[in-house]
């Protein structure tokens, strides 16, 4: 921009991507002992901006801090935004302690989405670990709503213990939908558990797959995602181009200014968090990258 | 590149610099320029000609910086100091938003919608390049940082061409200096010898031309123009160089090079290199609230990839070793920056070399990664432990 030589006047910042908008908490529900689902609505009454499955918001708690949290609600339910938050530290603890009517600052939505348009006509294999099911739930909602656009829907979900499984009722309901298979497993079952025990990759033996017609969406701890990718690529013949995963790194701004989320050449906040595995080959698993 | 001695050069005297400062102030600019502060040449808001470090120079080496007297009255007779213009365009700390809780409502107030208007006096060619790099970071992508944008859009830049290079400088090999050809409103070349002390001035913009006209700058003779170009050429002879051929792939392919272990035995993870670098842009957020709980603020502060907390995610930091942090810094500067912003993140200003307390030299580290031998012991004088803001 050429500098002006007029007597400098007052300039106003245009839109500020770092300014949160006030929202209020419309509902809070408990998922597990440490995980809650919150829905928020804009304080100014204007319906919340739409989002694409896989995107996240920056949620700000007054005076405490701001965090990246994936949107876990239905993308076609207008007006509100839904998040599922696991309390692991001060800011997430403050988030899950909100009650109906409390205020939150919201920025976003940010980031790259699951490629739901591009994978029409395919079998969609969704693999989640722990809280990783939250950013995948909007994709599941989308597929179930547009059922004819996709062939099979398979959900593989692993959690630490039966008490850590999210969305239990919904998992059961999804499993009863046509052409949909939902398999869950836990690391430690306990005495009353009648379901499967073992890491999420052990669920693969219950599957018959068509590798050339399958796309996989994965979100969970990095180590789990690496095992799943090995299984998909080496044992199941799914191509790297058909594997998508959602990555996590420290994030302070979500718009590529703070530098914290860099991952090799990428900024996870704007190039991701959803990446095609083809792009991350050679990066994933590199120690201290 | 042969010098293009254009006929549109003009000449101003030392007194003309005083008039330039006054003129810019009359136009409403806060004039920032080099000035002597805490034993270094800093970039500060200046009021008058006398604030410039006339007759001072610096002595630089890896891990070593000293100001000392020159035997003439040169106004710009030194290399870049520990600070850069970054502190004005991308301030070290900045409140982004202010929030008030007022009974049932939450007010989120935008901070700083009125931006200061700066005129920078004495911007070196490598620093013009650094500003252009940060323009890409904060204005060139999908998102624009309104705080940077608001400051940057108003800046009036008076560049000063380099006529002497310091031992840390390697702009010539980075293609960023010692002569600036764009990115300024006015560029000055200082000429000081037994006969004269004056400045050959060229305008880079219409605004710059107007300012020179208002200063009643007289046309420069071809002889003076020639002398100016000669002295700039003199500064392009630099002992330090960085070989940038294929540098992006070089670093990507050498993630496991033993030099990273070697440099980690010396690097203190003190973050000085990132604080002095004119292109480093990383920040963190800090939330503050009053005891009453009615009022809160979000502050953005410069951060460094050398800190442990930088890469923290629940469960622990991603980069725990100083080896991985040094590697991240250098790989970002010289490789991933190219993917992210289409330019190198290093402009060859040499600050990280001078201000590293143990004298680690980015140029030598590239050399070592290229297989030029693992870098030897530090050649630092080890006396550079100034606190940098
Ligand atoms: C794109 C993205 C989407 C996410 N979606 C969800 C979600 O849907 N539900 C959910 O429960 N969690 C999600 N997380 C993780 C969540 O942001 C962290 O659990 C949270 O930041 C921890 O903050 P804390 O202060 O409670 O804990 P602490 O562990 O004390 O963290 C301190 C600070 O470190 C940083 N930090 C710590 N862990 C992470 C992390 N995993 N990712 C990024 N920054 C971190 C934050 O700045 C945090 O304030 C997501 C993370 C990312 C990057
Ligand atoms: S990396 Fe060092 S030499 Fe390069 S621009 Fe930054 S401070 Fe200057
Ligand atoms: S200034 Fe030197 S010691 Fe400090 S972090 Fe940078 S390279 Fe390491």
Please, how many CA atoms are within 13 Å of residue B221, restricted to the half-sphere of its CB?
4
Instruction: Return the ligand number nearest the Cα of A67.
Output: 1
> For every one of its 289 residues, what pLDDT tens digit does chain A have, with 9 covering 90 and above?
333 322 233 333 457 899 899 999 999 999 999 999 999 999 888 877 799 999 999 999 988 999 999 999 999 987 899 999 999 999 999 999 999 999 999 999 999 999 999 999 999 999 999 999 999 999 999 999 999 999 999 999 999 999 999 999 999 999 999 999 999 999 999 888 999 999 999 999 999 889 999 999 999 999 999 999 999 999 999 999 999 999 999 999 999 999 999 999 999 999 999 999 999 999 999 999 9
Look at residue A134 in the predicted model and tell me its pLDDT: 98
Rounded Cα gap, residues B285 and B287, in angstroms:
7
B280 token code pair: 């480093």
Look at the block and give the residue holding tokens 């006529």. B163
Cis ω before A108 (30° cut-off from 0): no
Rounded Cα gap, residues A205 and A200, in angstroms:
10
| Subunit contact A2:B154, Cβ cutoff 8 A | no
Q: Where in chain A is the domain with CATH 3.40.50.80?
A: 123-246
A188 token code pair: 């430690």
Look at residue B379 in the predicted model and tell me its pLDDT: 41
**Closest of A47, A66, A78, A77 to residue A104, by C-alpha:** A66
Contact A102, A25 (CB under 8 A): yes
Contact B273, B349 (CB under 8 A): no
Beta pairing, strands B10-13 & B197-203 = antiparallel
- B15 sits in which H/E element: helix B14-26
Contact B224, B11 (CB under 8 A): yes
- A126 sits in which H/E element: strand A123-129
Instruction: Return the ligand number nearest the Cα of B366.
Output: 2
Candidates A37, A51, A54, A69: which one to mutate for ligand 1, based on the most atoms within 8 Å of Cβ?
Answer: A69
Q: Where in chain A is the domain with CATH 2.40.30.10?
A: 21-110
Superfamily of domain A21-110, CATH level 4 = Translation factors (2.40.30.10)
Rounded Cα gap, residues A184 and B179, in angstroms:
66
Cα-Cα-Cα-Cα dihedral of B267, B270, B276, B282, to 10°? 110
Q: What is the pTM of this model?
A: 0.92
Residue % of chain B over a pLDDT of 70: 93
Rounded Cα gap, residues B300 and B90, in angstroms:
10
Model confidence over B72-82: pLDDT tens digits? 999 999 999 99
Q: What are the beta bridge partners of residue B357?
A: none
Candidates B300, B307, B313, B316: which one to mutate for ligand 1, based on the most atoms within 8 Å of Cβ?
Answer: B313
| Subunit contact B152:A1, Cβ cutoff 8 A | yes
φ, ψ at B129 (rounded to 5°)? -65, -40
A249 token code pair: 């790194």
Q: What are the beta bridge partners of residue A56?
A: A70, A110
CB-based contact, B213 to chain A, within 8 Å: no
Contact B147, B299 (CB under 8 A): no
Position B298 pLDDT exceeds 80: yes
Residue % of chain B over a pLDDT of 90: 83
Instruction: Return the ligand number nearest the Cα of B80.
Output: 2
| CB contacts < 8 A (A, B) | 165
Model confidence over B220-269: pLDDT tens digits? 999 999 999 999 999 999 999 999 999 999 999 999 999 999 999 999 99
φ, ψ at A258 (rounded to 5°)? -85, -20
| Subunit contact B311:A3, Cβ cutoff 8 A | no
Contact B153, A1 (CB under 8 A): yes
Position B155 pLDDT exceeds 90: yes
User: How many angstroms away from the CA of A258 is the closest CA of chain B?
Assistant: 5
Contact list in A for residue B25 (CB cut-off 8 A) is none
Look at the block and give the residue holding tokens 């656009």. A149
Q: Which atom of ligand 1 is nearest to the CA of A252?
A: 47
CATH T-level fold of A123-246:
Rossmann fold (3.40.50)
| Subunit contact A249:B110, Cβ cutoff 8 A | no
């Amino acid at each position: 921009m050429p500098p002006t030589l007029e007597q400098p006047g007052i300039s106003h910042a245009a839109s500020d991507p770092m300014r949160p908008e006030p929202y209020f908490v419309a509902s809070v529900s408990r998922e597990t002992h440490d995980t809650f689902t919150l829905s928020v609505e804009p304080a100014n009454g204007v319906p919340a901006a739409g989002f694409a499955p896989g995107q996240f918001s920056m949620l700000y708690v007054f005076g405490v801090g701001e965090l990246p949290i994936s949107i876990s609600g239905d993308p076609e339910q207008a007006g509100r935004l839904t998040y599922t938050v696991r309390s692991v530290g001060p800011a997430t603890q403050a988030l899950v302690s909100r009650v109906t009517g409390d205020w939150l600052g919201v920025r976003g939505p940010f980031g790259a989405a699951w490629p739901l348009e591009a994978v029409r006509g395919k079998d969609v294999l969704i693999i989640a670990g722990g809280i990783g099911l939250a950013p995948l739930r909007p994709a599941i909602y989308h597929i179930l709503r547009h059922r004819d656009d996709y062939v099979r829907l398979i959900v593989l979900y692993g959690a630490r213990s039966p008490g850590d499984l999210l969305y239990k009722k919904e998992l059961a309901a999804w499993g009863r939908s046509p052409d949909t298979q939902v398999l869950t497993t836990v690391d430690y079952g306990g005495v009353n558990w009648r379901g499967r025990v073992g890491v999420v990759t052990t669920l693969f033996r219950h599957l018959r797959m068509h590798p050339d017609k399958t796309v996989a969406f994965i979100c969970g701890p990095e180590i789990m995602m690496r095992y799943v990718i090995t299984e998909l690529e080496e044992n199941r013949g799914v191509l790297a181009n058909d594997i998508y995963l959602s990555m996590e790194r420290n994030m302070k701004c979500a718009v590529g200014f703070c530098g914290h989320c860099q991952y090799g050449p990428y900024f996870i906040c704007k190039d991701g968090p959803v990446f095609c595995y083809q792009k991350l080959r050679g990066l994933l698993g590199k120690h201290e990258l | 590149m042969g010098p293009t001695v254009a006929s549109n050069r003009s000449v101003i005297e030392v007194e003309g610099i005083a008039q330039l400062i006054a003129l810019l102030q009359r136009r409403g600019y806060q004039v920032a320029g080099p000035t002597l502060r805490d034993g270094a040449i800093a970039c500060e808001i200046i009021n008058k000609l006398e604030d410039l470090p006339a007759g001072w120079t610096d002595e630089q080496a890896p891990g070593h910086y000293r100001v000392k007297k020159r035997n003439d009255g040169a106004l710009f007779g030194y290399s870049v100091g520990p600070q850069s213009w970054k502190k004005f365009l991308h301030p070290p700390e900045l409140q982004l938003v202010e929030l008030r809780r007022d009974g049932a409502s939450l007010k989120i107030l935008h901070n700083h919608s009125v931006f200061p208007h700066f005129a920078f006096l004495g911007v070196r060619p490598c620093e013009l390049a650094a500003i252009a790099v940060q323009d890409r970071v904060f204005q060139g992508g999908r998102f624009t940082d309104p705080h940077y944008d608001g400051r940057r859009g108003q800046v009036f830049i008076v560049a000063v061409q380099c006529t002497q290079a310091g031992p840390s400088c390697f702009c010539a090999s980075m293609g960023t200096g010692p002569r600036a050809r764009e990115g300024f409103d006015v560029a000055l070349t200082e000429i000081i010898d037994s006969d004269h002390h004056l400045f050959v001035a060229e305008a880079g913009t219409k605004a710059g031309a107007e300012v020179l006209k208002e200063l009643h700058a007289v046309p420069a003779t071809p002889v003076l123009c020639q002398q100016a170009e000669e002295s700039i050429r003199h500064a392009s002879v630099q002992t330090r160089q960085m070989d940038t051929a294929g540098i992006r792939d070089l670093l990507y392919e050498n993630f496991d090079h033993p030099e990273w272990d070697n440099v980690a035995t010396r690097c203190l993870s003190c973050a000085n290199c990132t604080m002095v670098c004119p292109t480093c842009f990383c920040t963190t957020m800090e939330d503050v609230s009053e005891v009453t709980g009615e009022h809160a603020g979000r502050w953005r502060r410069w951060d460094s990839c050398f800190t442990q907390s930088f890469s923290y995610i629940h469960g622990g930091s991603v980069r725990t070793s100083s080896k991985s942090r040094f590697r991240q810094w250098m790989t970002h500067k010289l490789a991933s920056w190219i993917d992210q912003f289409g330019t190198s993140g290093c402009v060859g200003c040499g600050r990280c070399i001078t201000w590293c307390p143990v004298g680690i030299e980015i140029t030598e580290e590239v050399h070592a990664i290229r297989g030029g031998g693992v870098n030897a012991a530090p050649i630092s004088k080890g006396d550079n432990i100034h606190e940098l803001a």
